[in-house]
A and B are shown apart, each in its own frame.
Chain A
Amino acid sequence: MKLREIVETVKGTVLTKQGDLDLEISYCGASDLLSDVLSDMKPGSLLLTGMVSLQSVRTAEMVDLAAIVFVCAKIPRPESIELANELGIPLIASPYSMYEICGRLYQAGLRPPKK
């Protein structure tokens, strides 16, 4: 699924500079616990999180995640957006809850990373 379609599906706003929205993403994970993200997520996946700290972006960098969708219309601080721009990791804000986003994206074809 293309990142562009993901943004549409979650009615998201891209917070970072217009990056590569044609990026193909197949896997997705959702967590507020960054240690779980580090431990379980595959490179190239999409992260759904309510954690808007700078550490979400750092975590995405560490495990080479493709992009982050922030849930419940949470907006990270400018420093986080700046870092994400630097690292080329698209940040997206969605008005929906974590549960709703999970449902919509699963229906659209995104799957959890294979163990």
Chain B
Amino acid sequence: MSQVPKFTKIQELVYELPVGRVMKKEVITVSPDTPISTLKEILRVNRISGVPVLDGDHLVGIISIEDLINALEQGDMQAPVRKRMSTQLITVREDESVIEAVNKFVQYRVGRLLVVNKRGGLTGILTGGNITRGLLEAVGKNPHAEKISGYRAPHIFQDFASDHTSLVLKYNVKARDFETAGSASSKVKRALGRLRVLPEVIRRVAISVYEGEMNLIIHSDQGGELIAELRPELIHITLKDQGPGIPDIERAMTPGFSTAPNWIRELGFGAGMGLANIKKCADSMKLESKVGVGTQLEIIIHLHSESGDETNTEKAKQPEPS
């Protein structure tokens, strides 16, 4: 674990907080027809240094105290805002992370960014001060910020642009190999630890993959594959083998039902709780099996959920297609 680069809470938050959480929502605006003299009063009364210009609902410009000073120098105080405003609009989307905003401040050397929604409508305004305050609040409000902001994987995913980014860990599991049993699960668990997935989520993944790995070792003819696919928002675990297959899935899902021989029970497993345990940990699971062909178990665990869904069933929810 010592090789994991250290991220401070603030650094983590810069990546995790959306702009919408730190921006100022009550935005004072002016219309393009507002005279500069009125603008001066608006800036003075509200003690602000610039405002967006809206034509109806439409964002058309931004005007700052600098534009006002220029107008004052040139004796142009009765001109409408439209004449003096800047129409080069530097915007940031409310769902983007604060780091995007920081980058734009650096790139465009502006004092404020206009925050827009997906349709381009103005929803807020953002200054360096808003960011500082938002970060301090997020750290102060939450003594467990380290834990909550701990999920590092999104930063890794953010570095790669693609339509579907995921990290796939694949292990071959040998049948009846009790010497190395659990080692694949151990590696999955360690990987998630390094990616700083929430401990509660790691625990649920670890239990699921371990029970699944034991099932492959105990029941499969030729062993099988354990695949853990980590996506920005979830972990998709697949366990598959080439037989013998489960004749009655409903019975196999019944807690306490077991086909394991006694010698398996002597190892502490085979009590018929494996699938029930997985179901308890998973947000959704899908078990498909054909006698003589093989079995495939798919498990989905969301990275940001707090606990396994009590109501999940194999029929109610299906894993998302990959």
Q: Report if A and B associate in a common complex.
A: yes
Residues on A facing B (Cβ under 8 Å): 32-36, 38-39, 43, 49, 51, 53-56, 58-59, 61-64, 79
Complex Cα distance, B125 from A83, in Å, reads 56
Contact B178 A39 (CB under 8 A): no
Q: Is the CB of A54 within 8 A of B186?
A: no
Min CB distance B270 to A, Å, is: 9
Chain B residue numbers with a CB within 8 Å of A33 are 268, 271, 273
Q: Is the CB of A58 within 8 A of B203?
A: no
Evaluate contact between B268 and A62: CB separation under 8 angstroms. no
> Are A55 and B267 in touch, CB under 8 angstroms?
yes
Given known A-B contacts A35-B271, A59-B268, A53 and B178 have beta carbons under 8 A apart? yes
B199 interface residue (CB < 8 Å to A): yes
Contact B268 A43 (CB under 8 A): no
Most buried by B among A38, A54, A56: A38
A38 touches B268 (CB 8 A): no
Stretch at the interface among B12-20, B89-97, B155-163, B204-212: B204-212
With A and B bound together, what is the CA distance between A38 and B280 in angstroms? 11
User: Nearest residue in A to B214 (C-beta to C-beta)?
Assistant: A55
A60 CB to nearest B CB, Å: 10
B296 at the interface (CB under 8 A from A): no
In whole angstroms, what is the CA distance A28 to B277 when docked?
A: 20
Task: Give every chain A residue within 8 A of B206 (Cβ-Cβ).
Answer: 62-63
Complex CA–CA separation, A55 to B271 (angstroms): 14
Q: With an 8 A cutoff between CB atoms, is B246 at the interface?
A: no
Judging by beta carbons under 8 Å apart, are A35 and B269 in contact? yes
Q: List 12 A-B contacts (CB under 8 A).
A: A36-B271, A38-B277, A39-B273, A39-B277, A55-B268, A55-B269, A58-B182, A59-B182, A61-B186, A62-B189, A62-B207, A62-B210
Within 8 Å CB of B199, what residues of A? 43, 64
Q: Please state if A38 and B181 are interface contacts (CB–CB under 8 Å).
A: no
Q: Which residues of A contact B269 (CB under 8 A)?
A: 34-35, 55
B207 and A63 form a contact (CB under 8 A): yes
Contact A55 B203 (CB under 8 A): no
Complex CA gap A36/B268 in Å reads: 10
Binding site for A on B (CB under 8 A): 178-179, 181-183, 185-186, 189, 199, 203, 206-207, 210-211, 214, 266-269, 271, 273-274, 277, 280
Other-chain residue from B210, B268, B280 in contact with A32 (beta carbon distance below 8 A): B268
CB <8 Å contact, B268 and A51: yes
Q: Closest approach, in angstroms, between the C-beta of B60 and any C-beta of chain A? A: 56
Q: Given that A36-B273, A53-B267 are contacting pairs, would A64 and B182 also be in contact in the complex, using a CB cutoff of 8 Å? A: no
Q: For residue A58, which residues in chain B have a CB less than 8 angstroms away from its CB?
A: 181-183, 185-186, 210
CA distance A36 to B277 in the complex (A): 8
Distance in angstroms from A65 CB to nearest chain B CB is: 11
Q: Complex: how many Å from CA A53 to CA B163?
A: 45
Contact B211–A38 (Cβ < 8 Å): yes
Cα distance A56–B186 when bound, in Å?
A: 13
CB distance from A38 to the nearest CB of B (A): 5
Determine if B268 and A34 form an interchain contact, defined as CB atoms under 8 angstroms apart: yes
For residue A53, which residues in chain B have a CB less than 8 angstroms away from its CB? 178, 266-268
Chain B positions within 8 Å of A56 at CB level = 268
